[in-house]
Amino acid sequence: MGFWGCKVCNFTKFPLNSWPWKCLVLVTIVMVYKAMLLSKISWSNVNGKDGVIGLEEEWDYGVRRDKFVEVPQIVWGLNNQKIAFARACLTARMLNRTLLMPSLSASLFYKEIDQLEPISFDKVFQLEKFNSMCNGFVRVGRYSEVLNASEVVELTKGSGRKWTDERDIGQLREFGNDPYDEYEVIRILGKNPFLWNDHWPVKEYAKVFECLVLVDELAKEADRVISRIREAVPRKTGSLEPAPYMAVHMRIEKDWMIHCKKREQRSKINEICSSKEEITQRVGNIKGLNKPLAVYLAVADSLLEDETILSGWDDGLLPFEKKRLGVKDIYDKYPYLIKSAIDYEVCLRANVFVGNSFSTFSNLIVLERTQKMIHSGLSSTCSSGLSWPSYAYNIKGDFDGPKRWMTNMSDISLQTISYGTNQVSC
């Protein structure tokens, strides 16, 4: 009888260096390796960066609902806050805990702590919708879910040049084990989560961002603004499709111009700042636009000193800002964070988007638009004619127009999106 045909194989009669023993060892190794690959959460060493967590296709292992992570109030602009929130979610996920619903900041003040105007997360984004869409991946819970408020252990985030990614990962691993893991709440102290060390790839951040849906009140306000934009240009006779529009995130406010010029000096990159004239010229050189086309100018009006932003545009491009569009009253009743959230939605849903690649606002819009392209089954290349086209006006592209722009979804961190880049994948 052959070896594989035996009913009961007695390996003791074979010497250790015989082929039956070698086969047994080989099969054992293969089975162990397969089991390791099937592990739901794995640590990998990506480009020498220890602790980058890979995105899984399915997240059916769930997130614990009886253990929590608490983070400091989230501050700064809308998209810095969205990144901070996502980083807090992913930190909680690494610890296999629910993130306690954090406070966002309604105002733009980030130095005067008493002027931060905290606003609850669920006043801006739908909490139940978030947990439904991100089910099994990350979870946000309410403070009412905590059973014993005294069961808290504090984790102080490190800071300074000596606080490396490896030390940060080591600290998180330590708090993922006993005795720290026994506590119901891990309260993280220290700096704003936006400044925490980044251990996660772009795809994991993108998953969190996809689960952020505006509350109905704010979504309806965005709908009203978009309707006004589409109505600003007469619809072609017989067309049943809504009129297309372009959104330009026009970063020429006084605070931005100070920041970008300093950034250019430090980085020795001259593709960060753009004047109004450069923006209008490059946008006008985009090929294939169906004119006449409404152009919505997303700009922080209270920080704008240039009153000529509606002039200098090419024929067929019809620029509108909040006042000319007749929607200023919609924005005026809300604090800074809500105004920015409405503008974000208007830009995200535009047929064409043009922004600045060193702006976090523009970067996150392009990330979501890239995701929409991928989910639609479109190519991830920057070929012309694709849906959801985006451009970076601060970088010269074809025909002296703005550079085509897509997010590099395979990036191992959110570094370039958080702080900007002149490498825009196209």
CA 158 to chain centre: 24
Q: Tell me the pLDDT tens digit for each residue of 187-210.
A: 999 989 999 999 999 999 999 999
Please compute the mean of the pLDDT values over residues 380-409 and round it to a whole number: 87
Of residues 107 and 34, more confidence is placed in 107
Whether the pLDDT of residue 110 is over 90: the answer is no
- Residue 318 pLDDT level (bands cut at 50, 70, 90): very high
- Judged against a pLDDT cut of 80, whether residue 250 lies above it is answered with yes
Q: What is the pLDDT of residue 30?
A: 54
Indicate whether 168 pLDDT > 60.
yes
What pLDDT is stored for residue 5 in this prediction? 41
d(CA 203, CA 200): 8
Distances (CA, A) of 304 to 71, 96, 258: 34, 44, 13
- In this structure, of 83-87, 266-270, 351-355, the range with the lowest mean pLDDT score is 266-270
Instruction: Output b/e per residue, 345-365; b: 16+ Cβ within 10 A.
Output: bbbbbbbbbbbbbbbbbbbbb
Q: Where are the domains of the chain?
A: 68-208, 214-419
Identify the pLDDT of residue 234: 78
CA–CA distance, 116 with 141 (Å, rounded to integer): 23
Per DSSP bridges, beta strands 49-53 and 140-141 are unpaired
Strand blocks (E) in 235-372: 245-249, 293-298, 317-320, 352-355
Does residue 270 carry a pLDDT above 70? Answer: yes
- If pLDDT is split at 50, 70 and 90, which confidence band does 19 have? low
Question: Could you give the residue ranges of the DSSP H alpha helices within 64-179?
Answer: 78-94, 127-133, 165-175
Query: Rounded CA gap, 119 and 74, in Å?
Result: 10
pLDDT category of residue 304 using cuts at 50, 70 and 90: low
Burial 158-178 (b: 16+ CB within 10 A, else e): beeeeeeeeebbebbeebeee
pLDDT at 215: 98
What separation, in Å, do the N-terminal and C-terminal C-alpha atoms of the chain show? 64
Mean pLDDT of 376-389: 72
pLDDT at site 117: 86
Q: What is the band of 78 on the pLDDT scale with cuts at 50, 70, 90?
A: very high
What's this model's pTM, rounded to 2 decimal places?
0.83
Residue 25 has pLDDT above 90, yes or no: no
Identical topology for domains 68-208 and 214-419: yes
- Name the band, by pLDDT with cuts 50, 70 and 90, for residue 226: very high
The whole-angstrom separation of Cα 4 and Cα 202 is: 48
Assigned fold of 68-208: Rossmann fold (3.40.50)
| DSSP SS3 for 37 | helix
Q: Tell me: pLDDT of 287 over 70.
A: yes
Is residue 61 over pLDDT 70? no
pLDDT at 307: 75
Is residue 93 a contact partner of residue 131, using CB atoms and an 8 Å limit? Answer: no
Per CATH, the number for 214-419 is: 3.40.50
pLDDT (0 to 100) of residue 302: 63
